[in-house]
Amino acid sequence: MDAAITAEARRWAVLFAGLVAITAGCAFQYGLPFLVPGLRAQGMSLGLAATLVACPSAGLLLTLVAWGAAADRWGERAVLSTGLALAVPALLGASVAGDPVLLGGALVTAGAAGACVHAASGRLILGWFGAHERGLAMGIRQTAQPLGVGLSALALPELGSGGPGPAFAALAGFCALAVVVVVLVVRDPQHTGGGAAPAGPSPYHGPRLWRLHASSALLVVPQFTVAAFALTYLVDRLGWAPAAGGRLLALAAAAGAVARLTAGWWSDRVGSRVGPLRRVAAGIGLAMATLAAVAVVVQRAALHQVTPHQIGDQHAGALQVATLPAAAAITALLVASVLTVSPNGLAFTAVAESAGRAWAGRALGIQNTGQNAVAALTPPVMATLVSGHGYPLSFATAGLPAALAWALIPRDRR
């Protein structure tokens, strides 16, 4: 009995430690859009700021599969602690980089090191939790992304108001703390031989995994469009102060974490990952279409009250949009912020279960590579679309991949 209780406590402790690790990684990998108003206040263009925001995702692309293979070979604990430890000096370098090229290089390096958290932490759950509760456990793990973004929303606008250095130093400190937690708490599942070579036939002979990878990558487009431009939209079009917008979006991130938990619990109850995933993809497409329609109303309401040179500068706080359109825009933005982050856990669990434990690290690495390739491209591409054609068309365009994802997601094997 005591041994059973100890094992029960251990797996939840391991889940918590993995959650801390991936939250620390996600805070700098996906939370940098909250530095954009501060960067623009220093004279940086929207396009350059969006490119810097995408640099950690570009770094992830370089190493995700390699970290996944390392987790398959040497275990999760070593991979998590090593990668996060390497991210610390990279982020400290970013905190003192004065040149945009050097800053971008430091952020790419940090992203490459921090990529360890994605495959390794998901593989931990596959080993420590059974299928009947894996959706909930993976949902808890997947709350790390909105939690990391939420923490960034609360802290980075203030820390980065006078320059990004303090913000990057704080993110480095968070990663250092996560390393300590991983070393003290995480233990690889007992039935996995840390030095055993992965075995078993490749799960990529059929189309199921490829369809899951492709649909997951498509769902990144609306997620990162909203994540990258929600704060900028609140500042530029609705006249919010960056810190106030950050607090609002932190609440949305917390709600997104709850949405991921709910999606995981739902998938456990119905015994399916892909069924709920298809329904959420359809909801995302509808949410983005609604956001685009409301953005049109806001644009028409505010068009006659502001000159083009005022958008995005210190006069943006003087914008006045009618109460009803503004309230509708905020509501639609919050709904989209929550819904677009909700399917990640479902897709992640479906990929891990379809691959099997011997291939899970590499499959999750491939999954995250595809997602982060799209994540790296989305902010700069959408920044060009926003600058040239405005927010309504950008939001509508971002909703189209969700419809394609709905069509690609495989149906239950039953």
On whether the CB atoms of residues 76 and 186 are closer than 8 A, the answer is yes
Q: How does pLDDT run across 255-275, given as a tens digit for each residue?
A: 988 888 888 888 888 888 889
Task: Give the whole-angstrom CA distance, residue 235 versus residue 233.
Answer: 5
On whether the CB atoms of residues 166 and 159 are closer than 8 A, the answer is yes
Q: Is residue 343 part of a domain?
A: yes
Question: How far is the first Cα of the chain from the last one, in angstroms, to the nearest whole number?
Answer: 37
Q: Is residue 201 part of a domain?
A: no
Place of tokens 């398959």: 72
Task: Give the whole-angstrom CA distance, residue 154 versus residue 56.
Answer: 20
Between 217 and 49, the more confident residue is 217
Q: How does pLDDT run across 34-82, given as a tens digit for each residue?
A: 888 888 888 888 888 888 888 998 898 888 888 888 887 888 888 999 9
Q: Is residue 126 part of a domain?
A: yes
Per-residue model confidence (pLDDT) at position 322 = 55
Per-residue model confidence (pLDDT) at position 94 = 92
Q: From 187, 214, 232, 149, select the one nearest 14 (Cα to Cα).
A: 187
Per-residue model confidence (pLDDT) at position 128 = 80
Per-residue model confidence (pLDDT) at position 316 = 41
Q: Provide the residue type at 329 as one letter.
A: A
Q: How does pLDDT run across 108-131, given as a tens digit for each residue?
A: 999 999 988 886 777 777 778 876
**What is the pLDDT averaged over residues 7-29?**
86
Place of tokens 């090191």: 113
Residue 30 lies in domain: 2-188+207-408
Per-residue model confidence (pLDDT) at position 214 = 94
On whether the CB atoms of residues 76 and 123 are closer than 8 A, the answer is yes
Q: How does pLDDT run across 302-325, given as a tens digit for each residue?
A: 654 544 444 444 334 434 555 788
**What is the pLDDT averaged over residues 184-207?**
66
Per-residue model confidence (pLDDT) at position 181 = 94
Task: Give the whole-angstrom CA distance, residue 56 versus residue 113.
Answer: 9
Q: Is residue 294 part of a domain?
A: yes
Is the confidence at residue 380, as pLDDT, over 70?
yes
Q: Is residue 413 part of a domain?
A: no
Query: Distances from the Cα of 8 to the Cαs of 14, 193, 246, in angstroms?
Result: 10, 20, 38
Per-residue model confidence (pLDDT) at position 303 = 53
Q: What is the mean pLDDT of the chain?
A: 83
The helix or strand, by DSSP H or E, that contains position 394, with its residue range, turns out to be: helix 391-408
Q: Is residue 229 part of a domain?
A: yes
Q: How many domains does the chain have?
A: 1
Q: How does pLDDT run across 336-377, given as a tens digit for each residue?
A: 999 998 888 888 888 888 887 777 777 877 888 888 788 878
Q: Is residue 367 part of a domain?
A: yes
- Alpha helices in 186-241, H assignment, sequence order: 208-238
Q: From 198, 407, 398, 134, select the one nearest 288 (Cα to Cα).
A: 398
Does residue 343 sit in helix, strand or coil?
Answer: coil
387 contacts: CB under 8 Å, gap ≥ 6: 46, 47
Q: Is residue 166 part of a domain?
A: yes
Give the other-Cβ count within 10 Å of 303's Cβ. 8
Per-residue model confidence (pLDDT) at position 53 = 85
Q: How does pLDDT run across 283-306, given as a tens digit for each residue?
A: 999 999 999 999 998 887 765 454
Per-residue model confidence (pLDDT) at position 200 = 62
Per-residue model confidence (pLDDT) at position 178 = 94
**What is the pLDDT averaged over residues 19-30?**
91
Is 235 exposed, middle or buried, given 0-12, 13-18 or 19+ CB atoms closer than 10 A? buried
Check which CATH number belongs to the domain holding 111 and give it.
Answer: 1.20.1250.20
Q: From 74, 23, 54, select the one nearest 198 (Cα to Cα).
A: 74
Task: Give the whole-angstrom CA distance, residue 191 versus residue 310.
Answer: 61
